[in-house]
Amino acid sequence: MNKNLSSLKDEELIKEFQDNNTIEAYEILVKRYKDPLMNFVYRFLGDKDICTDVVQDTMIKFYLNKDSYKSFAKFSTWIYTIAGNLAKNELKRRKRRSFLSLHTDEDEAPVQIEDKTFVAPDRYTDGEIKNKMIQKALLKVKPVYREVVILRDIEAFSYEEIADITGLSIGTVKSRINRGRTQLQKLLKNIYKE
């Protein structure tokens, strides 16, 4: 039974879950989407712990609101919409918190304890440093542009799919991707020079 379910498409699995409340179908969908969603949310928020919470919440929302999925839509766009909305809410909350907080970031810095797993910067590979810098630059791009750039260039969605996920028109999606890339290119200039 489980083997048969694994061979089913996403839309067939969700239908099975909706009609017969088959928890195995749900589990297979979680297995398929946990990593892509994790990658998407991490690139958007830049924090692994919060990112895990957001993806967990996405899966819980999927479990609770399975009936709100309509068969004419792609399952991937539906679950990415949930994850994207939760990630955006989290980002807003963090901004609000930092705005209202009386402490500066310096005050909130954790106490420094010797980290034995620490690797000296000279031992970092060139690729690792560049990856960190790209992620840092990506987080500096405006969230509205960042979301579509990640969906297009990292998650490799089509313009139509991105329009479905974000609820925007294809024209808006294209222009936002273009603006996001331009911002990112400026930020990454220094890396290219090296």
Partner 1 sequence: MGKNFYNLEETEFKETIDKLKSLPKVDAPDNFEYNLMVKINNKNFELKTEKKKISFLWKILPAPAVVAAAVLAFFFIPEQTIENSSLLQFSPLQVIDSAKQAELTSQSAVVDFGNDKNKSSFEETNINTEQKNTVNNKIKVQPNDVVVKEKTAIPFDPSKQVDIDKFINGKAVNSSPASPANLVSGGEKSSNFEGFIIKNKDERDSLLKNKSKEDSLSAKSNKKGVK
Contacting positions for partner 1 (CB under 8 A) = 27, 30-31, 34-35, 37-39, 42-43, 48, 50-57, 59-61, 63-64, 86, 89-90, 93, 96-97, 100, 130-131, 134-135, 138, 149-150, 153-154, 174, 178, 181-182, 184-185, 188, 191-192
Closest CA to 66 of 36, 26, 12, 24: 26
Q: At 29, list the tokens.
A: 């969908």
Closest CA to 73 of 164, 191, 157: 164
**Nearest to partner 1 of 71, 119 (CB atom):** 119
Least separation in angstroms between residue 74's CB and partner 1 is 21
Least separation in angstroms between residue 19's CB and partner 1 is 19
Least separation in angstroms between residue 64's CB and partner 1 is 6
**Nearest to partner 1 of 6, 89 (CB atom):** 89
Least separation in angstroms between residue 53's CB and partner 1 is 4
**Nearest to partner 1 of 99, 118 (CB atom):** 99
**Cβ neighbours of residue 63 closer than 8 Å, sequence gap 6 or more:** 26
**Nearest to partner 1 of 134, 144 (CB atom):** 134
Q: Are residues 148 and 162 in contact, defined by beta-carbon separation less than 8 angstroms?
A: yes
H or E stretch including 33? helix 23-45
Least separation in angstroms between residue 72's CB and partner 1 is 27
Chain CA centroid to CA 2, Å: 29
Rounded to a whole number, what is the distance in angstroms from the first to the last CA of the chain? 55
**Nearest to partner 1 of 75, 180 (CB atom):** 180
Least separation in angstroms between residue 175's CB and partner 1 is 10
Compute the distance between CA of residue 93 and CA of residue 99 in angstroms, rounded to an integer: 10
**Nearest to partner 1 of 73, 191 (CB atom):** 191
Compute the distance between CA of residue 103 and CA of residue 98 in angstroms, rounded to an integer: 8
